[in-house]
Structure 1
């Protein structure tokens, strides 16, 4: 069975891109995923609930989506 040659792929929830733009692609993907999580919780976030409830929803439902895997990224200039 032949193996496909690709420029990027998703592996364990991370977008792997060959070359220098690897982290840039992953950060852009994480931002997109965080906006999707925000959209899924839009009624709660834009509702007239107490600010502490909105903060809890943001901390527990949106930030983990955005920060998933960032502890394994290496720093660059």
Structure 2
């Protein structure tokens, strides 16, 4: 049962939201589907990849590129995912995005 009771802290009303991101993971009070969060993580991974595009296209060794990928790109896609009960489809989406 939903209530519209306002919550105040130090006489400041706290905003009521249906979803929020904390730390690095989207939480929702209504939507229990993982699809939006998986898509958000894939987008975050591509954004991180794009920020390092010069490194990945540069003339440095593949070992260093792999280290940068593993430390800067991969965590944006996988942070918190290991605690989820993933469906096969969700697992395939994340794996496919990582391989691309």
How far apart, CA to CA, are the structure 2 residues paired with 1:59 and 1:12? 19
Q: Paired residue for 1:62?
A: 73
Aligned length: 76
How far does residue 47 in structure 1 lie from its aligned partner after superposition?
0.9
How far apart, CA to CA, are the structure 2 residues paired with 1:13 and 1:38? 16
Give structure 1 stretches of 5+ with no counterpart: none
How far apart, CA to CA, are the structure 1 residues paired with 2:44 and 2:56? 16
How far apart, CA to CA, are the structure 2 residues paired with 1:47 and 1:76? 37
Q: Is 2:55 the partner of 1:44?
A: yes
Which stretch of structure 1 is more off in the superposition, 12-21 or 51-60? 12-21
Of 24, 30, 42, which aligns to 1:13? 24
Q: TM-score, normalising length from structure 2?
A: 0.63
Q: Paired residue for 1:33?
A: 44
How far does residue 45 in structure 1 lie from its aligned partner after superposition?
0.7
How far apart, CA to CA, are the structure 2 residues paired with 1:64 and 1:75? 17
Q: Is 2:82 the partner of 1:71?
A: yes
